[in-house]
Amino acid sequence: MSYGIHINGRSFADEPRAGQCLRTYLRERGWFGVKKGCDAGDCGACTVHVDGEPVHSCLYPAVRAEGRAVTTVEGLAGEGGELHPVQQQFLDAQGFQCGFCTAGYLMTTAALDEEQLDDLPWAFKGNICRCTGYRAIEDAVRGVRHTEEPDAGRAVGRNLGAPAGPQVVTGTARYTFDLDVPGLLHMKLLRSPHPHARIVAIDTAAALRVPGVHLVLTHHDAPERLYSTARHEHPTEDPDDTRLLDDTVRYIGQRVAAVVADSEAAAEEGCRRIEVTYEQLPYVTDPEEAMAPGAPVVHDKGPESRIARPQNNVVGEVHGEIGSVEQGFAEADVVYEETFRTQRVQHASLETHGAVAWYESGEDGGERLTVRSSTQTPFLTRRALCALFDLELKQVRVLAGRVGGGFGGKQEMIVEDIVALAVMRLRRPVKLEYTRAEQFYGATTRHPFTIQVRAGARSDGTLTALQVRVVSNTGAYGNHGPAVMFHSVGESMAVYRAPHKKVNAYSVYTNSVPAGAFRGYGLGQVVFAVESVMDELARRTGVDPLVFRELNIIGPGEHMISPGGEEEDLEIASYGLDQCLQVVRDAIGEYGHGSGSLAGAGPGDDVPEGWLVGQGSGMSMIATGPPGGHFADATVKLLQDGTYDIAVGTAEFGNGTTTVHKQITAGALSTTVDRIAIRQSDTDVVRHDTGAFGSAGTVVAGKAVMKAADALAVQLLEFAAQHVGAALEECRLTADAVECAGRVVSLKELFQAARAAGRELSADGHWGGSPRSVAFNAQWFRIAVDPGTGEIRILRSVHAADAGKVMNPMQCRGQVEGGVAQALGATLFENVRLDERGQVVTAAFRRYRLPQYADVPRTEVHFMETSDAIGPLGAKSMSESPFNPVAPAFANALRDATGIRFTELPLTRDRVWLALHEAGKG
């Protein structure tokens, strides 16, 4: 074997740089299927084979590969291009969603022997998936096929695979940084070591002397304009409290300066050489203390920033009462009051935040700034960049490749602004890619909440009053703070019919890492508290918890009322909550006893002697999108070769909207999805889309696509009838033609005829996201608890989802399973921990416990039989909502098993053991 490293059958003689890992060496040579997910060997996304053995290439020194054969996911396929059996299995089962982890799973699976295949929890202990919930991965490994190939026009409601599936399993799908940009420079950020300080002086001279450093940016280079990193259709929903680089830092980890250099190493060294003189200021990390008189003020800004009470660190608040809660409590036979707390959770998308930008020639011959970003909101990010730098929309292009997970975390402009500033200064391409550690202390988290609930009921189980006080810790900046707080006390209270309701809610600044948008958008936190209280009220009134809910939940056609304010465009356009609760009742009934029983192990339970067994449920309601509009425009047109093209703005990050949009179009045009191409997530080639958030991909962008496809179908039939001289009612669309009165006109012929007539067969569709409907979910768990250790085993997990007309059962089921798995992580162990100064101390996956294959049960997913009057073809949203009922269902099962009401998340093993021990049950 000749000197060098042999990669996928090719030899590379160039030696690695000193200390270079194999992952970087491979990616620099174009093998982009090798992903960067954690920097520490924790996630497995970078797995490759070295002489047939799987290794984490981020830990493997590239120099050790000298003389060895390295195989990446691109090299798994045969020489003729045929897929490796494992690749085909993952494609057939759709064992992926965003797909960022898939190459690692493929490489791990391909190296397993029969004995290892029998123990997948052990085999996959070095791999993490944040999207799927792992069932789809197991099915792929076991050779279970889920994908279908339906007849023309019958795509809706079938299990079509993701259009990018072949690229995902072969490692050729292109994510944000999977491209070679000539002359690329690298950016690194210097971050604050203090929770609150003013920058007195900053000296960059030594940094600029580092070989390879081209630019150092500080607050002296930043625009004075304030903005929010949050992205909404209406920017006034968020406070303008952020400056690109500020002379005041408000949390440990805030960016202070940026260094741009030829290499990451040079940029990092430049950061180390910057000398900053700080004047440290008083800080506050507890939101209750932050609201108290005399607390340090985090943002001393005027009313133009839209901060509710800056002197009290209150960025937003909502207060309201319906009826009189005091009267309601006086009428109650049972009143229960408790305080609940939820923690910070990291999105942990395997692709970290990042962007690469450059200048290119625009249509008018001038230069145009192009930003390629891992974003859920290309259009809103372009708008924000233009506002920040006083540019016209035509001067900026923002695009997203395939996005490696989002969950709301990429509904922000966290990196694009600083990268754009560097490119505008240097006129050179610049890249910024967060490390996994930066993702923890430099991005955003789920909002920590403190929720006080007081509720009253009569002895027959009828609610008389519901009162909630919420304090949300938004961190040092208010991005999404007011909106999350407002949403949290919306559907969580509106789903119950108590005649007397009251809410006081506060979104509060502290000197800690900012919170932001996260799956469920505040509902999950308050639903945990409210559903726990409903369970407790049911027990104290002696009413079955399911019966208690059925007595008090909102019904079909009823007006949704929340004391935080009515949302006039929100309605129950289909109702499946009763069906959801019946699914739970059926699951309970299989054990031969009712809710709240401590009867011990049931049929199929594998419970060691002495363990406690319990079961519990929770439910939730969620609206699609925000009030005030979520806009989408789409265009569908006939192409010269007789196929179709969809142009729609929604980004794809495993949410499955690309597949659904093609299914909708195929149904409207009586064709097959393989005859439809799709362009998306590029402000240059598609029209406006608010973004892939708010569970809007199917019900907003999908409705715009449906309107465009329906309009094009009419155009095609009318033009074909005119073309052949037939009556319109005698014409019908087929997969590749129009049949008119016995004559078959191919779509190619129709295109040419239209061109000759000076016409383009194309149609536009628009949907403004209003009116909005609601989706319902219910979760049920059966668990066992070891009183001696606090260990919990999930014996059974059942989820009922009211998604309206399910467009793609396979994909929708994956969204539910992924949501349940992510919520289980937040329920059981995930916790972004901060020290007393607000510094994140869990800035790595090995310190921050993510759900792995062995942690997640196979959840039984049931879809309800409903059809929505608003959503496209009867569909409703189902991406965020599965998360919300999981924590209360689990906590209610734990209460059933132990007799202890746990009020703080996560429900870690030590916390459970300590409570049992203190109660004399351990």
Q: pLDDT tens, 175-221?
A: 999 999 999 999 999 999 999 999 999 999 999 999 999 999 999 99
Q: What is the mean pLDDT of the chain?
A: 96
b/e string for 390-424 if b means 16 or more Cβ within 10 A? Answer: ebeeebbbbbbbbbbbbbbbbbbbbbbbbbbbbbe
- The helix/strand/coil state of 614 is strand
Residues 817 and 405: their CA atoms lie apart, in Å, by 15
Structure tokens at 210: 């580092």
Expressed in percent and rounded to 5, the helix, strand and coil fractions of the chain are 30, 25, 45
User: What pLDDT, in 10s, does the model give residues 696-731?
Assistant: 999 999 999 999 999 999 999 999 999 999 999 999
Q: Is there a contact between 464 and 329 (Cβ–Cβ < 8 Å)?
A: yes
Structure tokens at 534: 């409903």
Predicted pLDDT of residue 922: 76
Predicted pLDDT of residue 573: 96
Residues 492 and 11: their CA atoms lie apart, in Å, by 60
Predicted pLDDT of residue 598: 42
Q: How far is CA 576 from the centre of its chain?
A: 25
User: What pLDDT, in 10s, does the model give residues 752-789?
Assistant: 999 999 999 999 999 999 999 999 999 999 999 999 99
Which is nearest to 512 in space by CA: 779, 875, 231, 832?
832
Cis peptide before 906 (omega within 30 of 0): yes
User: Do strands 644-648 and 860-863 pair parallel, antiparallel, or not at all (unpaired)?
Assistant: unpaired
Predicted pLDDT of residue 604: 67
Residues 72 and 26: their CA atoms lie apart, in Å, by 9
Q: How many CA atoms lie within 13 A of 226 on its CB side?
A: 19
Q: How many CA atoms lie within 13 A of 682 on its CB side?
A: 11
Q: Is the pLDDT of residue 71 over 50?
A: yes
Residues 427 and 807: their CA atoms lie apart, in Å, by 46
Percentage of the chain exceeding pLDDT 70: 98
User: What pLDDT, in 10s, does the model give residues 585-615?
Assistant: 999 999 865 433 344 566 668 899 999 999 9
Percentage of the chain exceeding pLDDT 90: 94
